Structure 1
Amino acid sequence: MVTPAPAPPAIQAWPPLAGPAAAVAPALLAWAARDDAAMPRLCLITGGPGAGKSHLLAWLLAGSDGDPRTTVHATVPARGQIAETLAWEFGHQLGYGPLPPDELLARVAADPRPVRLLLPDLHTAGRGPADLPTALPRDAVDRLVGPLLALPHVRAAVEVGQLDLLPAEGALVLTLGPDGYDTGGPPVPARREADPFGTTVGPAGSAPAGSAPPTGGTAPADGPGREPGAPLDWRTASRRSREEALDTALAEGRAGDLLKDPGFLVHGSLPAITATLADRRIPLPSRLRGVWQQAAPALSTPGLADPHRAAILHLAALGAADARLAELLRPLAETHRWTARWYRPSWRPTAAALTAGSAESGERLMTADATGRVRVRRVSDGELVGRVTVDPRLRPVGLTALTDSCALALDEDGMLHPLLLGEESMAPGRVDRLALHHNGVTAAPSSDVRLTALGAHRDRVVLADGAGAVHLWSLSSLDAAPRSIRLHGSGVTAVTCRVLPEVGVVLVVSAGLDGAVRLWDSATGAEMPVPVERRAAIPTAVDLAETAAGLLLAVAWSDRRVHVWQLSEGRMAALSLLHPVDMLMLCADGTLVAAGRDGTCALGLDLDRLWS
């Protein structure tokens, strides 16, 4: 007995559609709603210019969230993009963050969740020098799109213009034309198509029609009354000028001059700059390519304002020790809501914590690396001011400061180790009892739960484990056991606490593999009924601090984003950083230290404007 195909969603739930695309819409909707073996995983949309191919995919996207069977997980227009920039955008939308093509493919392959993608304008992909592979759509297909579509849990609707980019065998082919559509018909002859600005897109690297070539750091005339060839103020330039300037400069052999302009790096086309900088024949300042390589993935975050782009580039320039570029970017970067104070990409800490230090020296940053070496640095400038002698066998994966002279370390086996920061230092009296309690539980033959995170404030220590529970200890009480509560359905990735003596409460914030950030207060013993935040990404670090703006919560995510919450107002500000963050330290003056295996940086948060 043959099981009938399920009925497609009601097309009336989608916006009205006219023209040739209207005839194709039912077939596309039926494809989108089915994921059984009888329906191809790939749908190819082809047809002539102006037939409505991109409009058809936009129509499907507009109503897709109304039915779980048609949910679209990522949509990335391919026009003018290269494999790297396509991968970054797909990574953002899928919750992985900006990843290079090979890492994105590996991440999607390892993730069992079904993925439905829309990819308009694949036949117009490509950017950069015309004689390099990246100038043609075939490069993006071979390096990213083809391998992505070969994964068995990926389904995609792709606009190809013609059927020579992707194999049509086994795919559902919808061909749009002036008189309707057919399936599996012959490909439409190749023709050039209008770009979003109404000009004609020629071969990659050629000058768009109607644009004037720049001279040095100049760009096409932009606006009435402006002399052609005069320096362009990129802050007020049109989107068209920003997008086309480098393509024009390439055609005229002046790309190097344009790329030396810091203003253009801030305002120019991300795919065009990325593709052009890959051409080693273009002479450029020695550190510029390294700065862009660090910054470009973060610059792909959707919706970044110009000052935010400047702040990211300024951070990358500090990390590359490009003092000249950093200084040129600093004025615009300082108009943003955060500005980098320092960045040390050479550090590779596995654990970090803040210590109070003295009134003169300010807060100190304590870091441990993969070899077990523990160092102390100034938060103000990141300079090394001391070392801590530890057991050479200890490899900390977590650190928290208990006092100015004592810290608590967590190793990869879930064991706790008190660390003394000076020869005459002493540990709080009940730290040994706390360590004995949890180390005994972890080492028990019947135990399958180990500690995964820790934090401390004043006389309180909070620990978390792989079963989703947190354990709150008081170092000043005689309690023989902690107060414990299970806050997550899976392992805890980060935890912190804050003593609020004026209200007699200890706030505990935990983050888990379930993508949730939860709040628990010791007064009621109950967790907050809904998470502070839940995302498709994984929270990797949390910290709390009392500042002039009130109690702040910082959360780092696996997609290279950091969210700073003003808890009293329920307001959140998002920061895009260069690398994944494993450890966060938030200071009372608004300094945010972010550390990970790719480096450590300190950002100054403008607490007056951060949430504006």
Structure 2
Amino acid sequence: MVTPAPAVPAIQAWPPLAGPAAAVAPALLEWAARDDAAMPRLCLVTGGPGSGKSHLLAWLLAGSDSDPRTTVHATVPARGQIAETLAWEFGHQLGYGPLSADELLARVAADPRPLRFLLPDLHAAGRGPTDLPAARPQDAVERLVGPLLALPHVRAAVEVGALDLLPAEGALVLALGPHRFGPGTLPVPAQQQVYDPSGSTVGPAMPAPAGSAQPAAGTAPADEPGAEPGAPIDWRKASRRSREEALDTALAEGRAGELLKDPGFLLHGSLSAITATLADHRIPLPSRLRGVWQQAAPALSTPGLADSARAAILHLAALGADARLAELLRPLAETHRWTARWYRPSSRPTAAVLTAGPAQSVDRLVTVDATGRVRLHRVSDGELIGRVTADPRLRPVGLAAVTDTCALALDADGMLHPLLLGEESMAPGGVDYLALYHNGMTAAPSPADRLTALGAHRDRVVLADIAGTVHLWSLSALDAGPRTIRLHRSGVTATTCHVLPEVGVVLVVSAGLDGAVRLWDSATGAEMPVPVERRAAVPTAVTMAETAAGLLLAVAWSDRQLHVWQLSEGRMAPLSMLHPVDTLMLCADGTLVAGGRKGTCTLRLNLDQLWS
């Protein structure tokens, strides 16, 4: 006989808890473990300063992974944050990447998972000029938190200073005493309003604690202790508190514009404070600074960024709009794992590929945009060097170079087309055969056979379809047909191949909607037993190249992360990108070309320190 699991996990699995919070911890644990209709989806934790509200939520988080019923999917401290920065944090933790508030709400609404959130310090949310809505916590509630809580599959425990910030009707309210407690003091007995399965409540609701309103911005000193008045601050050496609070102080003193013109502060200052303050157009600033920050800020919200990483991201954004700021940021940016060489926001390819130029060096980038226009660019600087006349009805979503003057194009319907890159170019016969074969001209097409991705290297072409199958062709041995293997449970989003002539092996990498990146080699005919990588995001582009650091694989993900793998060592370096990447190409010298709906850029990978 199987003994049913208890309705609530054993509280002993959680860390010990003392003080007023201990009295309400069982009720919070029951709320976290139960998701039946009788249990409210919203739990409000309220009380005075120092009563243990944040500590109680931290206690639940600390043990949440011990039982699948209490898994917390995102925990975002709200103190000093605005709706935009809260949305970026939620997006990172949920695997979406940094999204705007509206984009996040749409993604969460479409997410099939029951989601559980913890939101400490909601009453302390808000940043920026005090007369603007973003400075008040209610703005974050109206724009983000309230709409999130309205979604039927979202449950949240939220810390508030008073019960008027979020509607308490129907919620489970855990009210802690208004007094501080600490080591050596007797805790004040907690006043509680807790949900009981019988429908009753225990204890009265606690009134809003006095003094729970958010303190006015600008109360913290901007300078480091001991610094001479008016002396420039070396923000690299400034304390965490000074970095976080400097702009609040500058706003109160009327010198926010002066501080925001300092590139050092942009690199080290508070992300939420800068974002909120730049929204105030009354503050005079260089005309392009707001645009640069708007592009860079979501990527800057990536947790754990080093100073050099923040410089590299800001430098990349500035290259597309503000050459002077980019030059000021360049020295520190060049100490990072990667440095941008150029960025063109106006170049938004739906497909792109590298081919050899007239000197047989890979310095020619072929791009196709949403209107079908084909352009040729220099890889070194992004300059336009030519145009290609093509069928205006062709709208490629993928390109693979089969010769220096011919590419194979894949359209959104899964059809293959030869694309000639010169006036006197000719398509190899094998390319026409592949197009006929996979376009269903020689057999009745099946919806499961619709191609979704392609790649090529030397005389090999790899094609992948919506069923998760990849097909490896040799243009020099078409009669043998393709080698076919199913690598994914769902559609393939990107694929590439690389010929290793010294061992007679072709490596094939495919990425799928199942979040897996898989490797297959033609020697064994079998896939690797485990994926190269699997994540809760969608891989959108892959590329391989032999470099001075060995054979590298780069994978772009839907959450704006780019992972560079050194395959022989199994080492991976994560890079944060400005925007989602749809096309990705890697050169032998470590130059990485990335393109998408928000522009095209090249990054110089520092191969000596990429994995350090």
TM-score normalised by the chain length of structure 2: 0.94
Query: Which residue pairs with 2:377 in the alignment?
Result: 377
Report deviation, 1:358. 3.7
Alpha-carbon separation, structure 2, partners of 1:6 and 1:345: 56
CA distance in 1: counterparts of 2:398 and 2:17, whole angstroms: 56
Instruction: Answer yes or no: is the 8 Å Cα contact 1:365–1:378 preserved in 2.
Output: yes
Distance 1:443 1:58, change over 3 A: farther
Equivalent residues of 2:191, 2:206 under 8 A apart: no
Q: Judge conservation of contact 1:362–1:378 (CA < 8 Å) in 2.
A: no
Distance 1:143 1:345 in 2: 29
Instruction: Name the residue aligned to 1:414.
Output: 414
Alignment of 1:132-147 (within 5 A): 132-147=132-147
Aligned to 1:183: 193
The alpha-carbon deviation at position 563 of structure 1 amounts to 0.5
Cα deviation for residue 66 of structure 1 reads 1.4
SS at match of 1:36: coil
**2:579 alignment counterpart:** 579
> Is the aligned partner of 1:202 residue 2:202?
no
Deviations 1:557-588 (A, max 9, x none): 00111000111111111111111000100111
Name the SS for the 1:407 alignment partner: strand
* Pair 1:51–1:397, CA change in 2 (3 A): same
CA displacement at 1:18 relative to structure 2: 1.0
Could you list the per-position Cα deviations for residues 222-271 of structure 1 after superposition, in whole angstroms to 9, with x for gaps in the alignment? 244x3233111001111011001000000000000000000000000000
Measure, in 1, the Cα distance between the counterparts of 2:393 and 2:487: 33
1:271 aligns to 2:245 (yes or no): no
> Following the alignment from structure 2 to structure 1, what is the Cα–Cα distance between the partners of residues 445 and 455?
26
Q: Is the 8 A contact 1:23 1:181 kept in 2?
A: no
| Secondary structure class of the residue paired with 1:430 | helix
1:293 equivalenced with 2:294 (yes/no): yes
Aligned-pair CA distance for 1:16: 1.1
1:100 maps to 2:100: yes
- Give 3-state SS (helix, strand or coil) of 2:490's partner: coil
- In structure 2, the partner of 1:53 is 53
1:216: which partner in 2?
A: none
Equivalent AA in structure 1 for residue 255 of structure 2: R
Deviation at 1:201, TM superposition (A): 6.4
- After superposition, the Cα gap between the structure-2 partners of 1:136 and 1:571, relative to the gap in structure 1 and judged at 3 Å, is same
Q: Which string of whole-angstrom CA distances, capped at 9 and with x for unpartnered residues, describes residues 143-194 of structure 1? A: 000000000000000001210111111111111122124116334434447x
Q: Deviations over 1:96-144 (max 9, x none)?
A: 1111101110111112211110000000000000100000000000000
Alignment of 1:309-458 (within 5 A): 309-320=310-321, 322-359=322-359, 362-440=362-440, 444=444, 446-458=446-458
Deviations 1:479-516 (A, max 9, x none): 35211100000000000000011111100000000000
Equivalent position amino acid for 1:541 in 2: A
**1:201-240 counterparts in 2 under 5 A?**
202-203=215-216, 205-208=217-220, 211=221, 219-220=222-223, 222-224=224-226, 226-240=227-241
2:261 corresponds to which residue? Answer: 260
Q: Could you say if the C-alpha distance between residues 192 and 611 of structure 1 is closer, same or farther in structure 2, counting changes exceeding 3 Å? A: farther
1:223 and 1:30, CA in 2 relative to 1: closer, same or farther beyond 3 A?
Answer: same
Deviation at 1:10, TM superposition (A): 1.1
SS at 1:148 equivalent = helix
Q: Distance in 2 between matches of 1:442 and 1:29?
A: 63
Percent identical residues: 83
SS of the equivalent of 1:554 reads strand
Distance 1:573 1:297 in 2: 20
Distance in 1, Cα, partners of 2:382 & 2:206? 60
Cα displacement (A) at 1:394 = 0.7
The one-letter code matched in structure 2 to 1:180 is A
CA distance in 2, matches of 1:442, 1:327: 57
CA distance in 1, matches of 2:496, 2:316: 27
Checking the alignment, whether the CA contact within 8 Å between 2:467 and 2:491 is kept in structure 1 is yes
| Equivalent position SS for 1:130 | coil
Equivalent residue for 1:31? 31
Query: What amino acid maps onto 1:108 in structure 2?
Result: V
CA deviation string 1:414-437 (max 9, x = no partner): 000011111222223311111111
User: Which residue does 1:197 correspond to in 2?
Assistant: none
Is structure 2 residue 249 aligned with structure 1 residue 248? yes
One-letter code of the match for 2:33? A
Q: In the superposition, relative to structure 1, how do residues 389 and 563 fare at CA in structure 2: closer, same or farther (>3 Å)?
A: same
Indicate if the aligned counterparts of 1:24 and 1:181 stay in contact, CA closer than 8 A.
no
State how far apart, in whole Å, the 2-side matches of 1:464 and 1:448 are. Answer: 11
CA distance in 1, matches of 2:578, 2:401: 27
Amino acid at match of 1:202: P
Name 2:475's counterpart in structure 1. 475
Letter in 1 for 2:189: D
Give the unaligned 5+ runs of structure 2. Answer: 178-187, 195-203
CA contact (8 A) 1:463 1:472 kept: yes
User: In structure 2, what is the Cα distance between the partners aligned to 1:447 and 1:252?
Assistant: 65
- State the one-letter code of the partner of 1:574: P
Distance 1:479 1:10 in 2: 65
**Gap change, CA 1:157 and 1:296, over 3 Å in 2:** same
CA displacement at 1:65 relative to structure 2: 1.1
The answer for the alignment partner of 1:594 in structure 2 is 594
Q: Secondary structure of the equivalent of 1:180?
A: coil
Once the two structures are superposed, the pairs formed by residues 533-544 of structure 1 within 5 Å of their partners are 533-544=533-544
Task: Identify the residue that residue 283 of structure 2 maps to in structure 1.
Answer: 282
The SS at the match of 2:449 is coil
Quick check: 1:21 aligned with 2:21? yes
CA distance in 2, matches of 1:363, 1:69: 54
Q: Residue 164 and residue 410 in structure 1: after superposition, are their counterparts in 2 closer, same or farther (change >3 A)?
A: same
With over 3 angstroms needed to count, the CA separation of the structure-2 counterparts of 1:441 and 1:568, relative to structure 1, is: farther
Structure 1 pair 136/460, CA: closer, same or farther in 2 (3 Å)? Answer: same
- Structure 2 SS opposite 1:349: coil
- With over 3 angstroms needed to count, the CA separation of the structure-2 counterparts of 1:470 and 1:294, relative to structure 1, is same
Secondary structure at the aligned position of 1:54 is classed as: helix
Give distance in 1, aligned partners of 2:110 and 2:300: 26
Distance 1:381 1:442, change over 3 A: farther
Per-residue CA deviations over 1:525-568 (Å, capped at 9, x if unaligned) read 00000011111010000000100000100000001110001111
Classify 1:227/1:192 alpha carbon distance in 2 versus 1 (closer, same or farther; 3 Å): farther
Q: Is the 8 A contact 1:556 1:562 kept in 2?
A: yes
Question: Partner of 2:182 in structure 1?
Answer: none
* Equivalent residue, structure 2, for 1:91: 91
5+ residue gaps, structure 1, are 194-199, 212-218
Within 2, Cα distance between the matches of 1:277 and 1:584?
A: 32
Tell me the residue number matched to 1:215.
none
Give the deviation of 1:478 after TM superposition: 3.9
Distance in 2 separating the partners of 1:517 and 1:92: 20
